[in-house]
Amino acid sequence: MSLNPYSPPLASLTGLPAPAEQRPASRRRRFCASLINLVLSYTIIFSYAIAQALLIRISLTGVFAGVSHSQLSMAVGFIGLAFLWSTIGVQIWLMWKKNATVGKYWLGLKVCRVDGSRIAIGRYLLRELPLIALLVVPLLLQLPLLGWALYFLALAPVFRADRRTLNDLWSDTIVIREPAHA
């Protein structure tokens, strides 16, 4: 009997972790995670808009007599951009390290490939950017209701048996409960 050099090893593997159980996230948790992300994003956007409105009011009353309106506007703009970029940075960091957005992380969810393997940051961004575009582009076109309709249309397949949305389908991912939270 000769040994085939291309056959798999016959020794048993010990010390390997057991594969995590892939329990799809519930529809309620996915909705709540999406809602947390939306509230976080819109809070930053609306706080910036409110700060700009207050700035106009303050500049009209002359509270800052030695400072021009454009200087105040630039200061508020820089602060708003700092908050926006820090939030985007936190989201990308969580996507990279934990495979979850802020809402998913808080609710004990994570995104993985359908086979259970970890996803790369590029695939995660590929998964999330079309949904962000569905909200932002119609908002820029002054059609916010169209953006919301398209966004929820993209999320509608969550009612499938496997609970995967359109962005899960086109990026070959699934949202699961973390084993520690299951």
Looking at the structure, tell me whether residues 90 and 131 fall in a common domain: no
- Report pTM: 0.68
Q: Which of 110, 137, 163 represents a domain boundary (last residue)?
A: 110
| Strands annotated E in the chain | 109-113, 173-177
Least confident of 44-48, 154-158, 165-169, 175-179: 154-158
Looking at the structure, tell me whether residues 50 and 84 fall in a common domain: yes
Provide the number of structural domains found in the chain. 2
Looking at the structure, tell me whether residues 125 and 88 fall in a common domain: no
Is 10 part of any domain? no
- Full domain range(s) for residue 136: 112-174
The pLDDT tens digits of the residues spanning 31-47 come to 899 889 888 877 877 87
Compute the distance between CA of residue 78 and CA of residue 46 in angstroms, rounded to an integer: 15
Compute the distance between CA of residue 102 and CA of residue 71 in angstroms, rounded to an integer: 34
Is 162 part of any domain? yes
Is 43 part of any domain? yes
